Amino acid sequence: MNPLEIHVNGEPVQTQAAHLQDLLLERGHALTSAFACAINNQFVPRVQWPQRALVQGDRVDVIAPITGG
């Protein structure tokens, strides 16, 4: 299968992952950590990660806590 060409946090990425959760694991994210995901600016709840299919051109954002005012 040809890899999907998507963007993750603004960077172009080629991936074999078919679903969001596969992508997160492929990129080394510990699934129990404090972070959240959006695809194409739409929030994807954690419970949907295993089923959320990726398609060509998806823009994935993975965000985490930082200091803030």
Cα gap 46→21, rounded to integer Å: 9
Cα gap 25→55, rounded to integer Å: 17
Tokens representing 15 are 């991936």
49 part of the interface to another protein, by CB under 8 A: no
- Which residue in the set 36, 50, 55, 57 belongs to the binding site for another protein (CB under 8 A)? 36
CB of 8 to another protein, least distance (A): 9
- Dihedrals φ, ψ of 22, to 5°? -60, -40
CB of 2 to another protein, least distance (A): 25
Note the residues at the interface with another protein (CB under 8 A): 9-10, 27-30, 33-38, 41-43, 45-46, 61-69
